[in-house]
Amino acid sequence: MENSVNLSPFKNLRADVPAAVVVALVAMPLCLGVALASGTPLIAGLIAGVMGGLLVPLFSRSQLAVSGPTPAIVATVLLAMQTLPSFSAFLLAVVIAGGIQMVLGAIRAGVVAYFFPSAVIQGILSAIGIIIILKQFPYAIGFDLGEFGSQDFIGAHGENTFTGVIAALAHLEWGALLVSVLALSILITWDKVAVLRKQTWLSGPLMAVILGTLLNTLFLHAVPGLAVSGHNLVNLPIIRSVADLQGMLQMPDWGMIGSKAVWVTAIALTFITSLESLLSIEAADKLDVFKRRTPLDRELLGQGMANIASGLIGGLPVAAVIVRSTANVAAGARTKASAFLHGLFLLLAVLFLATLLNQIPLAALASILIFVGFKLAHPSIFQRMFRLDKSQYLPFMITIVAILFTSLITGVIIGLLAGVFFVLKANYHSAIEIGREGPAYKIALNREVTFVNKARLSHILERLPKGAEVILDGEHVGFIDHDVLEVIRDFERSAPLREIRLREQGFDAPVLKAPI
């Protein structure tokens, strides 16, 4: 498909510009929410969003991923704000984290993402989809939890995902619900009507925001009791002069360069932002209809540059974020121009359009995210995974449950461990097989036989009957670990005591009666 479509950024602006507008609108409350939950100045979240949008696309080769502040850093930032003497010291940690990421990119550490099984990646996407639906539902019906865009099961105020939904049902705002219904109706219709899908400069998410805002404006003038207001609207800080902007920007405290606490914070931020970025890239590549692959080492370089720039002027850490990236794909983006323009639009919005954009109901943005979440966790995905064997659907489900009830990073680690367990289990049984070849027992060693298979081989050899003839077959073996050779040689020495006749076949080099 890629060969038949011109994927130059300049040739796809008709798709990328509307997508960038939508992603910028979604990113604004996310940037503010992460900053608010982290206990840092609100402008710090917006700076990170702008730097992630403008700088990462210049160095990264990802076409669809969108970067900015991620909710995954909230706990780390909160702890850092308690242990470090100032926000300026924290900014130094952000700069250092960016430098470490650039080093990781230079030594090609991005390869670590390839060790995540596809079932785990699919589980991450589906879990994010479910979280988006549950977390955004309160905003869709007019209840402000104060953590728009959060991904953790336990919220900043002690509530969990499900208690947040229940609390929202008790505080339903009919005006917000009507805005959400209108926005979702537009999104669903846009996907199903061919004439609308073919529109180039307009998209369903963009129209959902525009018409949702107009409906709320109508409520404000005609039915004030239904109008959405206050915390249920986008809330950008208003900059009226250059002095206002200068007063919001902060610089790192370079005098803290020797602080152990700063370096510990920097390493923690490096781990969290790098892991989420690599996972988000993998997820975005899976959603790409043109099936493009992103060089992960270049991604680390781009993230490092953005983190250095963000920390230098008072911003939070930057990472590629799954929520923004999936919203970008859903809005019809084709190239990295969308991510860059989203950063530009964020900057322009902060500088010039704050008053206008503060009229947008969060319910309209929440509806877009809910629609994105449904696509990520579509029932057909679960049906497809359950058609596979348990080594695929169990890691998939374990990843989903772990992310839902912990946090993104914790859940991913649990899912990865589950994936590795099932891979090892499959290898444990398939690497060594026992059968019959005439009257003889045939033990076939397949692929790579490592210490993981030592216990199974020992068990098979111990159960061989007295007086048996045994063929050790190595026709399909690629590698035999030293521990396995030890088991074979020990059996060879004890076999005569059980009147067992042992011979080998198919090995490139002898494994019997040879030094270890």
8 Å CB contact between 151 and 407 = yes
Distance CA 147, CA 477 (A): 54
Please name the helix (run of DSSP H) or strand (run of DSSP E) that holds residue 66, with its range, or none. none
Nearest to 50 by CA among 285, 316, 266, 239: 316
- Tokens of residue 492, six digits: 């060879």
Q: Residue 95 pLDDT > 90, yes or no?
A: yes
Q: Residue 483 pLDDT > 70, yes or no?
A: yes
The average pLDDT across 139-149 equals 71
Higher pLDDT, 103 or 233: 103
Distance CA 328, CA 26 (A): 10
170 CB contacts (<8 Å, ≥6 apart)?
none
8 Å CB contact between 449 and 477 = yes
8 Å CB contact between 450 and 477 = no
243 CB contacts (<8 Å, ≥6 apart)?
none
**pLDDT band at residue 160 using 50, 70 and 90 as cut-offs:** low
**pLDDT, tens digit (0-9, with 9 covering 90-100), for 448-467:** 787 778 888 888 898 899 99
pLDDT attached to residue 97:
97
Relative orientation angle of helices 362-376 and 322-330, to the nearest 10 degrees = 90
Higher pLDDT, 515 or 52: 52
The average pLDDT across 7-21 equals 88
pTM: 0.69
Residue with tokens 């596809």: 118
- Is residue 433 helix, strand or coil? strand
pLDDT attached to residue 507:
85
- For the chain, the residue count is 516
Burial category of 130 from C-beta neighbours within 10 Å (exposed 0-12, middle 13-18, buried 19 and up):
middle
**pLDDT, tens digit (0-9, with 9 covering 90-100), for 291-349:** 898 999 999 999 999 999 999 999 999 999 887 888 888 888 999 999 999 999 999 98
pLDDT attached to residue 159:
59
8 Å CB contact between 32 and 236 = yes
pLDDT attached to residue 136:
81
**pLDDT, tens digit (0-9, with 9 covering 90-100), for 259-278:** 999 999 999 899 889 988 98
Higher pLDDT, 159 or 458: 458
Say which range, 78-82, 199-203, 376-380, 469-473, has the weakest mean pLDDT.
199-203
pLDDT attached to residue 200:
56
pLDDT attached to residue 320:
94
pLDDT attached to residue 2:
44
**pLDDT, tens digit (0-9, with 9 covering 90-100), for 238-247:** 888 888 888 8
pLDDT attached to residue 29:
76
Q: Residue 1 pLDDT > 60, yes or no?
A: no
The average pLDDT across 386-399 equals 89
8 Å CB contact between 470 and 511 = no
Q: Residue 150 pLDDT > 60, yes or no?
A: no
Higher pLDDT, 196 or 219: 219
**pLDDT, tens digit (0-9, with 9 covering 90-100), for 497-515:** 999 999 988 887 788 765 4
CB atoms within 10 A of CB 420: 15
- Tokens of residue 188, six digits: 């669903």
Residue with tokens 């209840």: 143
- Tokens of residue 385, six digits: 């995974």
pLDDT attached to residue 312:
96
pLDDT attached to residue 516:
42
Give the chain's mean pLDDT. Answer: 85
Please name the helix (run of DSSP H) or strand (run of DSSP E) that holds residue 501, with its range, or none. strand 501-505
**pLDDT band at residue 218 using 50, 70 and 90 as cut-offs:** very high
- Tokens of residue 164, six digits: 């947040």
8 Å CB contact between 53 and 30 = no
Nearest to 22 by CA among 215, 224, 206: 206
Nearest to 398 by CA among 71, 118, 127: 127
**pLDDT, tens digit (0-9, with 9 covering 90-100), for 420-449:** 888 777 776 677 888 888 889 999 888 778
- Tokens of residue 264, six digits: 């510990």
What's the half-sphere exposure (Cβ side, CA atoms, 13 Å) at 467?
Answer: 1
Q: Residue 50 pLDDT > 90, yes or no?
A: yes
Q: Is the Cα dihedral 28, 29, 30, 35 positive or negative?
A: positive
**pLDDT, tens digit (0-9, with 9 covering 90-100), for 341-362:** 999 999 998 888 888 888 988 8
**Partners of 67 in the beta sheet?**
320
pLDDT attached to residue 515:
47
Q: Residue 3 pLDDT > 50, yes or no?
A: no
312 CB contacts (<8 Å, ≥6 apart)?
91, 95, 251, 252
Q: For a pLDDT cut of 70, what percent of the chain falls above it?
A: 92
DSSP code, position 434: E
What's the half-sphere exposure (Cβ side, CA atoms, 13 Å) at 327?
Answer: 29
Distance CA 19, CA 11 (A): 15
- CA-to-CA separations, 87 to 250, 311, 516, in angstroms, rounded: 9, 10, 60
pLDDT attached to residue 447:
73
Q: For a pLDDT cut of 90, what percent of the chain falls above it?
A: 34
pLDDT attached to residue 57:
95
CB atoms within 10 A of CB 114: 9
Q: Residue 406 pLDDT > 60, yes or no?
A: yes
Nearest to 450 by CA among 486, 488, 413, 483: 483
